[in-house]
Amino acid sequence: MSVMREWKSAPLLSLALVAALATGCSSSSGPSPGTVATGGVTCTDITGGLAFSPPLTTTGSSADSTAVKLTAVGCTTSGSNVSSVTDGKATTTISSPSNACNRVLTTNSLTVKVTWTPATIRPSVITFSEYAVASSHSGAMGFTFPNPGGTTKVTGSFAGSDHGAGSSTTVFFNRTAVQLLAACRASGLVSIPVTSGHVSLK
């Protein structure tokens, strides 16, 4: 199995990244309390990281918990009642029955709740049908949501006019697939910094 195919089948990592896709953006001039933000929002950079406990290994002998902390910046709105968006944060924990790097993924839809700042903006709930492995110009590994031919649905804020059907997210790490797999084979992969990416809800 090639390095890319092994990482393409790493469900724990993919589930954690879904949270990366769900990072929202905040506004300094948000709508009235409890208001659903209309239109769409795009953020041009995502940073943060994933932490695995226990570390990911090639054997996957135990259950695993993934802590995700991400920040999105460079955000702008389109056709929205929120005129100025600056940044947003997402923190979540995802459980998996295995800490294996190459556990075969059974395709499932993944749903994430987005909490906006300020809290006067109601949350968004995003469902991605699938994901695809991506790589940056420098060769760093990442994921794009949804995969080509996949679907996205957004309810709540920033759902656009078609429940977010055109929404997408891409997140990149600071390592190549070869480097990530080498860490799994050695002492285990403890964490992965997320160094870039973008999200667009529309």
Q: What is the pLDDT of residues 73-115, one digit of tens each?
A: 888 889 999 987 778 777 777 778 888 886 534 345 677 777 7
Beta carbons of 169 and 142 less than 8 angstroms apart: no
Q: What is the pLDDT of residues 140-158, one digit of tens each?
A: 888 888 988 899 999 999 9
- In sequence order, the 6+-apart residues with CB closer than 8 A to the CB of 151 are 128, 129, 165
Decide: residue 141, CB within 10 A, 0-12 exposed, 13-18 middle, 19+ buried. buried
The HSE-up count of residue 100 (CA atoms within 13 Å, CB side) is: 13
